[in-house]
Amino acid sequence: MTPQFRKLIRLFYPRSWRQRYGQELADLCDEYLEVGQTSRARLVVTLMGAGIAQYLRSLAPPRRFALLFASALLTATVALAVPSDGLGLLSAGGKALPAQVPAATAKAASSAMTCGCQGQAVAPAPPAIECPPGPSCRHVFVVPGTAGTALVQLNWGGAAALEGHHLDFPGSTRCLYLRPGTGTTFFSQVVSG
């Protein structure tokens, strides 16, 4: 059995459950990987998710509720504490962004922030739609599970401020939606996928 799976199962599954099913589950994970049904990373993520769900199911209702409440509180705290810069992809890329954009320019950019191919306005929580990269797209939605590199051109009201910036997005990315907060509004255009 792959030690990685054994460790994951020990970490994320309740003891009684893994004593009964742990060995079988790890064997199945090995078999799953051998036949190339999935990637190791994806398998690890789904295994963790299923393990947490199993752990929650094993708790008595009051403890389950308390744990869910604590998780929600923690998530909300982290969400509030992290600066609002979209998915944080740009900051990870290490390129500095202009701090401010003239109000009129920002307004113009904001009004232009629609996805040309779907007609969907950009919202703080982008709708889960697929918007293929192309010249008519102001922002691009990435199908969860795909990973790759996008070449984006960032515009502030028509003035190209940053061109040819490569963004690597992981498989869990829902969309490339770039908005660095603090009143600065801009949009990205995927030049090539």
Residue in 118, 170, 174, 125 with CA at minimum distance from that of residue 147: 170
Judged by beta carbon, residue 17 or residue 67, the one nearer another protein is 17
Nearest CA to 172 out of 155, 148, 139 is that of 148
Q: Which of 53, 177, 76, 52 lies closest to 124 in space, CA to CA?
A: 177
Site string for another protein, 85-124 (x = CB under 8 A): ----------------------------------------
CA distances from 107 to 59, 110, 113, 124, 157 (A): 51, 5, 10, 16, 8
To another protein, the closest distance from the beta carbon of 133 in angstroms equals 18
Q: CB of residue 35 vs another protein: minimum separation in angstroms?
A: 8
Binding test (CB under 8 A) with another protein, winner from 2, 54, 91, 184: 54
Q: Give how many residues touch another protein by CB under 8 A.
A: 24
Q: Between 56 and 106, name the residue whose CB sits nearer to another protein.
A: 56
Residue 32 makes contact with another protein by CB under 8 A: yes
Contact between 29 and another protein (CB under 8 A)? Answer: yes
Question: φ, ψ for residue 187 (rounded to 5)?
Answer: -135, 160
Identity of the residue, 35 or 79, whose beta carbon is nearer to another protein in the bound complex = 35
Helices within the chain (DSSP H only): 3-12, 15-34, 40-58, 61-81, 89-93, 103-111
Q: Which residue of 19, 23, 75, 182 would you call a contact of another protein, by CB under 8 A?
A: 23
